[in-house]
Amino acid sequence: MYSLKPETINVLLQQNSYPIWIRKGIRKSIGELLKSLNKNQKWIIISPTPIYNLYGKEIFQILNQSGFKIEILEIDDGERVKSIYYFQKYCKKLIDLGCNRDSILLALGGGVTGDLCGFIASTLFRGISYYQIPTSLLAMVDSSIGGKNAINIEEGKNLIGTFYHPDAVIIDPEFLITLPEKEIYSGLGEIIKYGFIISPEIIKIFKKLNFLNLDIQSNEIEQLIIISAESKSKIVSIDSSEKDLRRILNFGHTTGHIIEAFTNYSKITHGEAVVYGMMVAIKISHKLLNLPKQVMDDSIYTLKKLCKTEIPFIPKTDFLNYLFRDKKVESRQINFILIDEIGNPIIHNNINPNIVYDTYKNLLKEIL
Ligand SMILES: NC(=O)c1ccc[n+]([C@@H]2O[C@H](COP(=O)([O-])OP(=O)(O)OC[C@H]3O[C@@H](n4cnc5c(N)ncnc54)[C@H](O)[C@@H]3O)[C@@H](O)[C@H]2O)c1
């Protein structure tokens, strides 16, 4: 057994339930943690070169010394690896490394690595085992949990993908020491989302954080990671294939995706775009669902602390084009997540697109 027990959260599924282990420094115990699963098969770390240099070498050595047959596949960094070209290239490399049906992949990196590795694991040899070892805050609290993975095609982001769960998620908050500030804020955006849709205690913790001098190794941040992982696993356990409840995870995402697409996925991080999207959703919630004004003002005040980048003016035609292209649109009816109180999401099945645009435009005036 491990000298220091990790916090364990279980993602409960009809088949293939799996644990999320969280503890500072847990990477150092990875040999012990996975020992009982080592049946002399090949384990392959998939990691972008910068992350491999920071943490992969250490993990490689620990597993090597613990008797694992371990290989490394270094990949390029950045969203572009989530493509058919790189998918094929890395599948070939895995086969060259001797990967077979019994092999196990370890996705060490941010959400990009997790999505690509999960997609490879779900398709190579019709499915092999993999573990998520997320290193970005966004990946720790969101993308590594829930089994959704994808690659991008010209027609849009994440359009080709599968639902395929990992055997476990291993979260070491110490990885965050080296994470750039803008990526930390991106992750905080996804964390606060859980506060609005399912775990109001998150909002209380946020109000106590000192954003002028944020300590990423503080107990509050670790607590936020744990509550977020619990929140996501609760939702995924009830609705593993995004048919119903899981749609509430899209809170703030409809407008967020429009901002990301309009700025070419380059100027603003995903989490920050979602923060602005949540402001729009909260303002509409006040208009349509009588979310109290005080709650709205308070929420916008807290969300503004997470904004580092300005959002652009988006012409109405572009805004509506992106809006109707979103995956959450069915027969031109826009599914939009609102809240009628903090922690209580409501799925609106046919929101008026003009309200969304006008609210965005007014938010822009308010912020500038
Ligand atoms: N599958 C899902 O459910 C889901 C959910 C949300 C987002 N996503 C996907 O996740 C991706 C975004 O994830 P992301 O924000 O983690 O991006 P990312 O993986 O590109 O990581 C961001 C940057 O931070 C670096 N980085 C990561 N950890 C680091 C560390 N500890 N120290 C230093 N640098 C580090 C990465 O190398 C990269 O340059 C998108 O492709 C998105 O579509 C998937």
Pocket test of ligand 1: the residue of 24, 26, 115, 142 to mutate, having most ligand atoms within 8 Å of its CB, is: 115
Under 8 Å CB-to-CB from 188, ≥6 apart: which residues?
137, 206, 271, 306
In three-state secondary structure terms, 168 is: strand
232 catalytically annotated: yes
190 catalytically annotated: yes
Phi, psi of 12 (to 5 degrees): -95, 120
Closest Cα to residue 288, out of 198, 242, 354?
Answer: 354
Q: Which residue has 């997470």 as its token pair?
A: 306
In three-state secondary structure terms, 263 is: coil
Which ranges of the chain does DSSP label H, i.e. alpha helix?
30-34, 49-51, 57-65, 84-96, 111-123, 137-138, 181-197, 201-208, 219-238, 253-262, 270-289, 293-304, 316-325, 353-367
Tokens of 84: 């058919």
257 catalytically annotated: yes
d(CA 325, CA 366): 27
Q: Which residue's CA is the nearest one to ligand 1's atom 14?
A: 111
pLDDT digits (tens, 9 = 90+) for 231-270: 999 999 998 777 778 899 999 999 999 999 999 988 899 9
The number of the ligand 1 atom at minimal distance from the alpha carbon of 187 is 15
250 catalytically annotated: yes
Q: If you measure from the C-alpha of residue 184 to the centroid of ligand 1, how many angstroms do you get, rounded to a whole number?
A: 10
DSSP single-letter state for residue 78:
S
d(CA 351, CA 273): 20
Single out the catalytic residue among 69, 242, 321, 344.
242
Domains located in the chain, CATH noted: 7-178 (3.40.50.1970), 181-367 (1.20.1090.10)
d(CA 365, CA 193): 23
Closest Cα to residue 347, out of 298, 283, 289?
Answer: 289
Digit-by-digit pLDDT tens for the chain (368 residues) are 455 789 999 999 988 899 999 999 999 999 999 999 999 999 999 999 999 999 999 999 999 999 999 999 999 999 999 999 999 999 999 999 999 999 999 999 999 999 999 999 999 999 999 999 999 999 999 999 999 999 999 988 899 999 999 999 999 999 999 999 999 999 999 999 999 999 999 999 999 999 989 999 999 999 999 999 999 999 999 987 777 788 999 999 999 999 999 999 888 999 999 999 999 999 999 999 999 999 999 999 999 999 989 999 999 999 999 999 876 666 778 889 999 999 999 999 989 999 999 999 999 999 87
Render 265-297 in DSSP notation, one character per residue.
Answer: TTSS-HHHHHHHHHHHHHHHHHHHH---HHHHH
Tokens of 9: 């959260």
286 catalytically annotated: no
Q: If you measure from the C-alpha of residue 177 to the centroid of ligand 1, how many angstroms do you get, rounded to a whole number?
A: 15
Tokens of 291: 């979310």
Q: Using an 8 Å Cβ cutoff, are 156 and 127 in contact?
A: no
Tokens of 223: 């607590």
Q: If you measure from the C-alpha of residue 96 to the centroid of ligand 1, how many angstroms do you get, rounded to a whole number?
A: 26
Please say whether the dihedral angle defined by the alpha carbons of residues 139, 143, 149 and 155, taken in this order, is positive or negative: negative
Phi, psi of 150 (to 5 degrees): -170, 160
d(CA 336, CA 330): 11
335 catalytically annotated: no
The number of the ligand 1 atom at minimal distance from the alpha carbon of 149 is 1
Q: If you measure from the C-alpha of residue 109 to the centroid of ligand 1, how many angstroms do you get, rounded to a whole number?
A: 7
Pocket test of ligand 1: the residue of 136, 142, 236 to mutate, having most ligand atoms within 8 Å of its CB, is: 136
Residues in the ligand 1 pocket, defined by CB under 6 Å: 48, 50-51, 54, 77, 79, 82, 109-113, 115, 135-136, 138-139, 142-143, 146, 148-149, 158, 175, 178-179, 183, 186, 270
Q: If you measure from the C-alpha of residue 196 to the centroid of ligand 1, how many angstroms do you get, rounded to a whole number?
A: 22
pLDDT digits (tens, 9 = 90+) for 143-166: 999 999 999 999 888 999 999 999
